Each structure stands twice: as C-alpha cells, then as structure tokens.
C-alpha cells in the first residue's frame, strides 16, 4: 500500500526559524509542502520517512532565508497493480461503487467489475448483487459504511495544475472569485477496483 519515494528539493528556511534545530526545520517545511498532497504519477504523500543527505546551504542576495538542497525519502500511498485492499463503501451511483479508505477517498468500482449479475436499485441508490443459488435469488445489498475487500485494477493521474489565461477567458467576468459551478472538481489521483472474484466484495459475504 505504501512506498518510500526518493526525492530531491530545495528547502527555504526563513530567518525567524534559524534558532530551531536545522533538521527539524527542514522536516517541517517538507511536510508542510507535501503532506496530504498528490504528486503527479507518484501518489498521495503521507509524511517524511527520513532525510538522506543535506547539501550546503546558500543565502541569496535580497532574501535573508537559507536555501538548502535536501535529498529525502517520503512515505507515499501508491498501491501496486492487483493489490488487495479493504475499505468502506462511501456511496453508490450509476458510475459504480465509491469506496473510501479514510485518508483516501477516490476509489471507484465500475459496474462491469462488480460480482455479476448486479443491478442498481434507483430507489435506495445502492448496487445489488443478485446471487443465484438452487433455492432462488438472494439480493445482496452493498450498503453505505460496509467494509469491502477489492483488488486494484487501474490508477488514473490527472494533472490539476492551473491552466493558462486562455481557458479563463471563457469564464464569466461577473464571478471571478465565486465557486465556478460549471467546472467539476477533478480528483488528481483515482483508483479503479474490481470485486468480481471469489473472496472479494463485502467482508460479510465471505465470513459466514
């Protein structure tokens, strides 16, 4: 689930932090920059693992702060392909079952990867597995809050960096600071999963 990623970055320590322990100041700056953020093509950064190398610090003209090139390792959430994970069902929609791990929410199990046959109950907004046995069909509901075991099949990284001025020209000038109702907030990192194998799906299906 987690990997250690080696990175290099230049860390700026402002003069009012000079009295602090250097390593602590560096660690705090790195965590401030990366914790709970998604790095494109890498994953969701959790916290600093360790600092491997500190190069010389420099002070540049016009800026009283010190700049140091730091080599460090960061703990990143990046499940490998086909890994088995256990999460909770957040909600169901036409797009599939949305699962959350608490610290990471953007996991979707699309309808074709559910245990077949499955149907979407519009009234209760929940996906149902129509499990056939000799006695007849059992409807197994995928309710909110239930623990679910799934396999990671794909990951999608989206570059959510701000676009240039040419895109902004199409927005109405009347609402520059308000929330743009037209644009959807894209998740920078999405996982796609499957539960169409024996042992996958709600934990309660396989425990009894």
Residues found near other proteins in the complex (CB under 8 A): 1-9, 28, 31-32, 35-37, 39, 41-42, 46-47, 49, 71, 73, 75, 78, 80, 82-84, 86, 101-103, 149, 151, 197-200, 206-208
Cβ proximity to other proteins, 103 vs 170, nearer residue: 103
**Shortest distance (Å) from residue 16 CB to other proteins:** 12
| Strands 66-77 and 136-141, bridge-based pairing | unpaired
Cβ proximity to other proteins, 31 vs 153, nearer residue: 31
**Shortest distance (Å) from residue 154 CB to other proteins:** 17
How far is Cα 156 from Cα 52, in angstroms, rounded to an integer? 30
Cβ proximity to other proteins, 118 vs 149, nearer residue: 149
Cβ proximity to other proteins, 69 vs 120, nearer residue: 69
Cβ proximity to other proteins, 126 vs 187, nearer residue: 187
Cis? peptide before 117, omega within 30° of 0: yes
CA-based diameter of the chain, in Å? 81
Phi, psi for residue 19 in degrees, rounded to 5: -80, -15
Residue for token pair 């990951």: 155
**Shortest distance (Å) from residue 63 CB to other proteins:** 19
CB 85 within 8 A of CB 27: no
Cβ proximity to other proteins, 105 vs 143, nearer residue: 105
**Shortest distance (Å) from residue 109 CB to other proteins:** 15
Residues 6+ apart with CB under 8 A from 121: 127, 128, 141
**Shortest distance (Å) from residue 150 CB to other proteins:** 10
How far is Cα 120 from Cα 174, in angstroms, rounded to an integer? 41
Residues 6+ apart with CB under 8 A from 189: 38, 43, 44, 106, 155, 156, 157, 158
**Shortest distance (Å) from residue 148 CB to other proteins:** 13
């Amino acid at each position: 689930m987690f990997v250690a990623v080696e990175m290099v970055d230049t860390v700026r320590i402002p003069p009012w932090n000079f009295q602090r322990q250097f390593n602590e100041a560096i660690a705090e700056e790195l965590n401030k920059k990366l914790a709970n953020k998604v790095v494109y093509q890498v994953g969701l950064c959790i916290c600093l693992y360790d600092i491997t190398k500190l190069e010389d610090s420099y002070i540049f003209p016009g800026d009283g702060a010190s700049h140091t090139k730091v080599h460090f390792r960061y703990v990143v959430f990046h499940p490998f392909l086909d890994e088995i994970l256990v999460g909770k069902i957040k909600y169901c929609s036409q797009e599939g079952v949305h699962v959350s791990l608490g610290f990471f929410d953007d996991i979707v199990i699309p309808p074709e990867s559910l245990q077949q046959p499955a149907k979407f109950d519009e009234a209760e907004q929940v996906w149902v597995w129509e499990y056939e046995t000799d006695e007849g069909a059992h409807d197994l509901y995928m309710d909110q809050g239930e623990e679910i075991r799934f396999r990671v099949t794909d990951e999608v990284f989206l570059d959510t960096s701000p676009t240039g001025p040419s895109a902004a020209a199409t927005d109405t000038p009347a609402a520059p600071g308000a929330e743009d109702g037209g644009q959807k907030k894209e998740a920078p990192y999405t996982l796609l999963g499957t539960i169409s194998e024996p042992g996958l799906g709600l934990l309660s299906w396989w425990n009894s």
